[in-house]
Chains A and B, each alone.
Chain A
């Protein structure tokens, strides 16, 4: 994992390090971030299954809500936001 090319991604207002080949979820966990989204009742949620089945790790990625971060590779310059509920007020237009 340490061998991949290093770059930065943005999560809410902060920048964290990511490596080529990592998923967004891996980059976040490696940086100590565990809360990826909050439910309608404001309960914290993060990675659970890690293989795209449980949909718990959804975040807003480059403006698109409900993206499974455990299935999505980190790319240089990508912008990620914590998702609140179903991100009803979010459109990527």
Chain B
């Protein structure tokens, strides 16, 4: 059965980014149609965590962009007539030793300079904050504005909100082609279920954005990066909010001299503690980082390393049962920034490549793309996020095979 319809804008991808784009476009009274090859939140957004964090952002643009996005969550969670399980209890980074403490103090000062509600916790304070912590943790760093939500619920909530504002949603409609007219402008989006005549397309396909880009001859340097997670049974609160280890931030600072005291497996799989309580009373632990193509299978060696790392910080986890595991593929770009951008093809936009920040940046991404399409002033300059930034260095990122950085 084939259908034919038209829309002012077609958004490709029903994850948190695509649904946010659709939501904000619909709120701007734009005639928008969302297509996805599967279900809403059926890809990366259904296989991740619910981070809306500032604590792991770099001072400057990274911080400013994320802060704009974070500020939108409290109102959106009210605005959407859907429980997205938004909580804003802050986040905590655990500090293992003096070397980390030194870097953390400096980092914390820089983030405070950006106006973020961050502070260093001493030994006493951190153990007060999380009484079940291992005794030898010497301190922590906190960001009070950080929050968590349920990503699948966010995508569903944004979808419902968008529909209410007039958007149309077509799930289970894989895009097979994007047709251009003789002048090189977008003419139509062809899906397995029919044709949509349109002049504007937003590619929010995440790890599949590269394939969608090829349909109009664009190179989009996104590589899937796998992360595995474990789900614990519902039980007493091991900690009341997001907890991570500062050691994993050290990699972000490129301080290659510093080596965490971890096993070779943890090193190889890029394992670092991430703890996330859920509203139902379960908790998630991660994390791992590996380039393994489109493989979403969990591997016992990786899961074991993740569990061991979690037990190192919270020994009580040894007594808690894990009931599920899952792996998600995050859309990695060579410079770790997303692509929120117009392109050389008039009417073709890209909103993808958020790697581990897709949930946190979903709202600002949606807002920015809606502002671009509605020709409104942008909430923040998106120059650092342009697709064209990869062009000049295309050779350097050949195959995107940059060394895996743990």
Seen from chain A, the residues whose Cβ lies within 8 Å of a Cβ on chain B are 64-66, 85-93
List of A residues within 8 angstroms of B281 by Cβ: 86, 88
Chain B contributes a number of interface residues (CB within 8 A of A) equal to 12
Contact B237 A66 (CB under 8 A): no
B234 within 8 A of partner (CB): yes
A86-B233, A92-B316 are known; give 4 further A-B pairs, CB within 8 A: A86-B234, A86-B236, A86-B281, A88-B281
A72 CB → nearest B CB, Å: 13
From residue B359, how far is it (CB to closest CB) to chain A in Å? 25
Residues of B within 8 A of A89 (CB): 236
Give the complex CA separation of A90 and B235 in angstroms: 8
In the complex, A85→B316 CA distance in Å? 20
Q: Is there contact, CB below 8 Å, between A86 and B235? A: yes
C-alpha gap A85/B236 in the complex (Å): 11
Q: Which residues of B are found within 8 Å of A86, using beta-carbon distances?
A: 233-236, 281
Q: Which residues from 269 to 320 on chain B have a C-beta closer than 8 Å to any C-beta of chain A? A: 281, 316, 319-320
B132 at the A interface (CB under 8 A): yes
Interchain Cβ contacts under 8 Å between A and B, 12 examples: A64-B319, A65-B235, A86-B235, A87-B235, A88-B234, A88-B236, A88-B237, A90-B235, A91-B132, A92-B319, A93-B132, A93-B316
- B131 in the interface (beta carbon within 8 A): yes
Look across to chain A and name the residue whose beta carbon is closest to the beta carbon of B320: A66
**B164 an interface residue at 8 Å Cβ cutoff?**
no
Contact flags B7-35 to A (C-beta < 8 A → 1, else 0): 00000000000000000000000000000
Report the separation of the CA atoms of residues A4 and B233 in the bound assembly, to the nearest whole angstrom: 34
Give the shortest distance, in Å, between B52 (CB) and chain A (any CB).
24
CA distance A91 to B130 in the complex (A): 13
Per the bound structure, the CA–CA distance linking A86 and B281 in Å amounts to 8
List B contacts of A91 (CB < 8 A): 132, 236, 316
With a CB–CB cut-off of 8 A, which chain A residues contact B320? 66
Secondary structure at the A interface, as helix, strand, loop or mixed, is loop
Instruction: Give residues in B with beta carbon < 8 Å to A.
Output: 131-132, 233-237, 281, 316, 319-321
Most chain A beta-carbon neighbours within 10 Å: one of B132, B233, B235, B236: B236
Min CB gap B283→A, angstroms: 12
* A-B interface, 8 closest residue pairs, ranked by CB to CB distance from nearest: A86-B234, A91-B236, A90-B236, A64-B319, A88-B236, A86-B235, A66-B233, A86-B281
Which single residue of chain A is at the shortest CB-CB distance from B321?
A66
Task: Write the chain A residue with the least CB distance to B131.
Answer: A93
CB distance from A42 to the nearest CB of B (A): 16
Q: Is the CB of A66 within 8 A of B316?
A: no
Q: How far is the CB of A34 from chain B (nearest CB, A)?
A: 23
> Who on chain A is nearest to B282 by CB?
A86
- CB nearest neighbor in B for A90: B236
**How far is A89 from B321 in the complex, measured between Cα atoms in Å?**
17
**Residue in chain B with minimal CB distance to A86:** B234
A93 to B234, CA, bound (A): 18
Bound CA–CA A5/B131 (angstroms): 40
A88→B233 CA distance, assembly (Å): 11
- Once the chains are docked, how many angstroms separate the CA of A88 from the CA of B283? 12
Q: Chain B nearest CB: distance from A73 CB in Å?
A: 17
Query: Among the listed B131, B132, B236, which residue makes an inter-chain contact with A65, where contact means beta carbons less than 8 Å apart?
Result: B236
Please give, as numbers and ranges, the residues of chain B lying within 8 Å of A87 by CB-CB distance: 235-236
Chain B residue contacts of A92, Cβ below 8 A: 316, 319
Nearest residue in A to B319 (C-beta to C-beta)? Answer: A64
Looking at the assembled complex, report how far the CB atom of B238 sits from the nearest CB atom of chain A, in whole angstroms. Answer: 9
Residues of B close to A93: CB separation below 8 A? 131-132, 316
B236 proximity list for chain A (CB < 8 A): 65, 86-91
A88 to B319, CA, bound (A): 14
What is the CA–CA distance of A59 and B36 in the complex, to the nearest angstrom? 45
Cα A91 to Cα B235 in complex, Å, equals 9
Residues of chain B within 8 A (CB-CB) of A65 are 235-236
For the complex, give the distance between the alpha carbons of A85 and B281 in Å.
11
- Measured in the bound complex, the distance between the Cα atoms of B235 and A66 in whole Å is 8
The chain B residue sitting closest to A65, CB to CB, is B235
Nearest-neighbour CB distance to chain B for A18, whole angstroms, equals 22
Select from chain A the residue with minimum beta-carbon distance to B280: A86
Q: Specify which chain A residues have a CB less than 8 angstroms from the CB of B237 in the assembled complex.
A: 88
- How many whole Å from B314's CB to the nearest CB in chain A? 11
Q: How far is the CA of A46 from the CA of B316 in the complex (A)?
A: 26
- Residues in A with CB closer than 8 Å to B235 are 65-66, 86-88, 90
- A53 to chain B minimum Cβ distance, whole angstroms, is 13
Q: How far is the CA of A66 from the CA of B320 in the complex (A)?
A: 8
